[in-house]
A and B are shown apart, each in its own frame.
Chain A
């Protein structure tokens, strides 16, 4: 009504150049009919009220809009709404208080997740992919003569597939490959991989065994081998295992990257259903996360060891998964595995089983280390880290460091043996 508008125009408040939002409120106003709609439009056009243009929730009535009302205009606006019998309620009682709280929250979480150096990084916790990628860059920046980052490809959703190369120089030195996180829900593996990276730069020049390895060979470490999956375990489904590539003709997403390799592909030990957790994919190496490693391995041409790290079950496994035929080097691999898990157990008494994949855990076709072994990389191993089922994939963070440390002893055994058996 005109009366209401007159009330409003009778008041003049200078509110320009406000620096804070103290006492400002956000009101949700509901317009029941065209008349109210028009009144509110007029209200919004009053400059001193500073409500700004109205964005109505819906195009039919009744409809609502949220507006910020400066403190100095509050009484006036509310009086107007009540006079016109326009429904409203208070969404935010004090905007400044809310902004201050938000800012504090953001700062404290920024403090917690943005370490300035790799010494500040919290290795005893699980991290987001952003944290880990930032860590990788930090490590390279801090150790330019030892560490570099190679991007071997892109995930389905376009995330970089980062590999840290630890090298003391030279060309085409024999190499050792380590990967973690190919199955995204196995969080203790990415966390351990991060710790391994730091361990390598810490021990080079201090630990004789590691120094000898790096003087002769390069180490390649891919920490987040399935970044799309890892991101998904943080945002949507903690139990996600596969890649995130859709499957045509199915509503089910993803391929099992550890059934997608060209070793026994299509045979028993993998599923041909896209809805299955062990779906092998439409064809071998269909997943970019897998193909990128395949291409890297082939172009490097001089990898001597390949270790792919999973959880859980506490096992150290060697080829084959797709066939019962023992691999040619079974005896040597079996003995080395025994040494490795003995070293592992020496730290905290954690007991591992070991053997070929097909005997120890199950038949699995299209697996990573079956392919790498068939490429001629003799020391091909898969780890299944802690635990044996009590916590499973959701291993408490306080077990990350003990797991990483004991596993490192097993890795050292494998790497040393590789070095001693490489020309």
Chain B
């Protein structure tokens, strides 16, 4: 009977809470190392930590010529990607880092670190690639201050998005049919074609936050658009509330942000407000992770 099914569903939903906490205490044997020729004894090249604390190890940030395969150049290059999206991105133009060709970094006397990079960037919708030269400055010191970027690219703007952008703009400009959506893409990586430009717009808008929040120990990507809602068009700008999930690679955290976004073909993407969402309401705030 349908009732059995309904009851079963109710019971299942209730059961999917946290399992009853049974703290299992077990003292396993201390794990030692087999003395295999390849094995490396513990203690070599590791900072010892005091109880309960993790010491932050000063990363040996390479100065001088950077290896394009290694992470310092890659992280800096991703910051350039975010910067380019804030400048040139739209619902039909979304830029991603393709290749790091070369790079160098140097300390700037107690003020921060400066990078110089040669990159290939790719526009995702048109598949057009372009060569970019970029300079970044990561400010040092205690305050979290956004990196400063300068970049010039050849060939990236070849993609002609004017017609699509204009059509999209006209389609959504009138306020009688405001759009909204959620889980873009869904768990399976799928999205309705009509949602795609909103996903792309979300990615570009996220770039404003990702640029601002970036430093040499972060690598950001937008993981998902949790939801977006179109608001009334104001001053000829399409307006949206977005809730996005950002993935930060080094901490592996998923960070929730709410944004107020505007766009028009002429003005480009602007982010008027940003609001960090708590990780979860009943969790402790995570302390700074080591790295």
Contact = CB atoms under 8 A, between A and B. Distances in A.
Interface of A: 92, 95, 98-99, 102, 125-126, 157, 187, 233-236, 238-239, 241, 244, 246, 248, 250-253, 256, 262, 264, 266-273, 275-278, 283-285, 291, 294, 313, 320, 322-325, 327-329, 351, 353-355, 359-363, 365, 373-376, 378, 388-399
Nearest to B57: A268
Contact of A251 (B34, B45, B284, B291): B284
B83 to A, nearest CB: 15
Contacts, number: 185
Given A269-B290, A394-B185, A396-B190, A262 B31 contact: yes
Interface in B37-57: 37-40, 42, 44-47, 49, 52-57
A271 B245 contact: no
Contact of A275 (B74, B245, B283): B283
A353 B68 CA distance: 9
A374 B40 contact: yes
B18 A246 contact: yes
B185 A353 contact: no
Given A252-B284, A392-B223, A276 B289 contact: yes
Contacts of B78: 389
Contact of B54 (A98, A272, A398): A272
Contacts of B71: 359-362
B23 A393 contact: no
Interface in B62-82: 67, 69-71, 74, 78
Contacts of A278: 251-252, 289
Contacts of A322: 46
Given A256-B252, A359-B67, A396-B189, A157 B38 contact: no
Contacts of B52: 272
- Minimum-distance CB pairs A-B, first 4: A396-B189, A376-B36, A389-B221, A277-B252
Secondary structure class of chain A's binding surface, majority of residues: loop
A272 B53 contact: yes
Nearest to A188: B189
Contacts of A235: 16
12 contacts: A157-B19, A239-B245, A294-B31, A323-B46, A365-B46, A374-B33, A376-B39, A392-B221, A394-B224, A395-B189, A397-B188, A398-B189
Interface residues of B, number: 69
Contacts of B279: 275
B40 A393 contact: no
A374 B21 contact: no
A268 B38 contact: no
A391 B32 CA distance: 41
Contacts of B42: 264
B57 A391 contact: no
Contacts of A253: 18
Contacts of B1: 99
B289 A353 contact: no
B178 interface: no
A267 to B, nearest CB: 4
A359 B71 CA distance: 6
Contacts of A391: 185, 189
Nearest to B285: A275
B223 A393 contact: yes
Contacts of A236: 16
A275 B252 CA distance: 12
Contacts of B188: 125-126, 394, 396-397
B286 interface: yes
B245 A99 contact: no
Contacts of B245: 239
B287 interface: yes
Given A275-B284, A388-B97, A390-B96, A284 B31 contact: yes
A301 B30 CA distance: 19
Given A276-B287, A278-B252, A285-B31, 9 more contacts: A99-B1, A270-B54, A271-B54, A271-B289, A275-B285, A294-B31, A353-B74, A389-B78, A389-B96
Contacts of B67: 359
A325 B38 contact: no
B143 interface: no
Given A275-B284, A359-B71, A393-B223, A375 B5 contact: no
Interface string B162-201: 0000000000000000000000011111100000000000
B21 A246 contact: yes
Given A394-B185, A394-B187, A250 B40 contact: no
Contacts of B33: 374
B251 A251 contact: no
Nearest to B13: A235
A248 B23 contact: yes
A360 B289 CA distance: 19
Given A268-B47, A268-B56, A376-B34, A102 B40 contact: no
A353 B69 contact: yes
B2 interface: yes
A113 to B, nearest CB: 14
